Amino acid sequence: MENTEPVNIYLHENMSKSAKWAKYLAIITFASVGLSFLQLVFGIIANKGNIISTVFSFIISTVITMILAVNMLNFSKHSNLGLATKDKVYFTQAFMHLKNYFIVIGVIFIILLGLLALFLLVFTIVLIAKH
Amino acid sequence: MESYTAENTTFSLETAGEEQLQSAGKWARFVGIVFIIFGSVLLFATILLLANFSSLMNEVIQLNGISEEMIDMLEKGGKYFIAFALILSAAVLFVNGVLLFRFGSYSNQYIRHKNESTLIASFENLKRYIYFSFIMACISAVLSLISTFVFFGS
């Protein structure tokens, strides 16, 4: 069953520009990861701070950032291919990568909110135990 | 400059594509709501900080033992700089949140009613969100580069 929706010039322009800026966003994100790596190397050379915790936090943040950047880049690539070839499959893939991008951010927020709730719970229990 | 004609500006979504768009919209709306809540909390915290700055500083002195010079600097104008940075952060969170919420809402409206104008509005907001994120990423990268030179240059 096919659902064909003609989309006008404005939508084409919006999608095209979204794809263009998504590509730039992914590139600047990759550059930021490179810069963070340089900071890590300089930090280790200068022997500033706890190396193990610094490397651990760098790996975690880099993995998350790379997943986001790769999804943005794939969204851009497939959107452009879809606009050029009019193949529905490319749009489906583009939206799948966009969905993955938002899922990653959403899951991070859920984890953060969970940790915040846990912290508040422990804090409240400690306060109650003290009084 | 790109030019668009009627022949090269028509595309269609299959059912799977619509499902992906709907799912992306739902997650975007959730992230948008969280951004707006975080922005509101940050704004509230800034107001509380400005209102109780002196008593808060007394508490911090007892905890960490900050130097007199630092306290003097914070009380003279530093607190306004901190407040400005916090308000700016809250504004960024608000703008991102609103754009994502609108993208999610319009894409869901499109899936439900198949109204083309809602799909246009949806992608307009997505485009703005990505553009805004790009500007923020650029500013962050430049600040990071400066801090690298300042911190390790010395």
- Give the range with max mean pLDDT: A1-15, B52-66, B84-98: B84-98
Instruction: Work out how many domains chain B is built from and give that number.
Output: 1
Is A124 part of any domain? no
Confidence grade of residue B132 (pLDDT, cut at 50, 70, 90): very high
Write the ipTM.
0.85
Domain that holds residue B96: 17-152
Query: Which residues of chain B have a CB within 8 Å of the CB of A103?
Result: 27
Does B128 score more than 80 pLDDT?
yes
pTM of the model as a whole: 0.83
* Residue B73 pLDDT greater than 60, yes or no: yes
> Please, which pLDDT band fits residue A19 given cuts at 50, 70 and 90?
very high
Residue that wins the pLDDT comparison between A44 and B14: A44
Give the pLDDT of residue B2. Answer: 47
Q: Which domain holds residue A76?
A: 5-100
**For range B32-39, the mean pLDDT:** 94
Any domain includes B119 = yes
Domain assignment present for B58: yes
B1 pLDDT band, cuts 50/70/90, is very low
pLDDT band at A60 (very low <50, low <70, confident <90, very high): very high
- The answer to the question of residue A105 being in a domain is no
**Of residues B30, B31, B23, B32, the one with CA closest to residue B111:** B23
Position B2 in a domain: no
Least confident of A9-18, A90-99, B75-84: B75-84
Q: Are A89 and B13 in contact (CB under 8 A)?
A: no
- Classify residue A25: in a domain, yes or no: yes
Question: What is chain B's mean pLDDT, rounded?
Answer: 82
Asked, for residue A21, whether it belongs to a domain, the answer is yes
Query: What contacts B140, CB < 8 A, 6 or more positions away?
Result: A32
Q: Which residues of A touch B14 (CB under 8 A)?
A: 2-3, 88-89, 91-92
Q: Find residues 51-90 of chain B whose CB sits inside 8 Å of chain A.
A: none
Cβ pair B5, A83 in contact under 8 A:
no
Mean pLDDT score, A117-131: 88
Structural domain count, chain A: 1
Inform me whether the pLDDT recorded for B153 exceeds 80.
no
Residue A94 lies in a domain: yes
Instruction: Tell whether A73 is covered by a domain.
Output: yes
Q: Please check whether residue B138 lies inside any domain of the structure.
A: yes
B5 in a structural domain: no
pLDDT band, residue A27 (cuts 50/70/90): very high
What is the torsional sign of CA A8, A12, A13, A18?
A: positive
A31, with CB counted inside 10 A (0-12, 13-18, 19+), is: middle
Look at residue A32 and tell me if it is in a domain: yes
Q: DSSP string of A15-69?
A: HHHHHHHHHHHHHHHHHHHHHHHHHHHHHHHHT-S-HHHHHHHHHHHHHHHHHHH
Partner B contacted by A69 (CB < 8 A)? no
Query: From the list A5, A39, A96, which residue is nearest B12 (CB)?
Result: A5
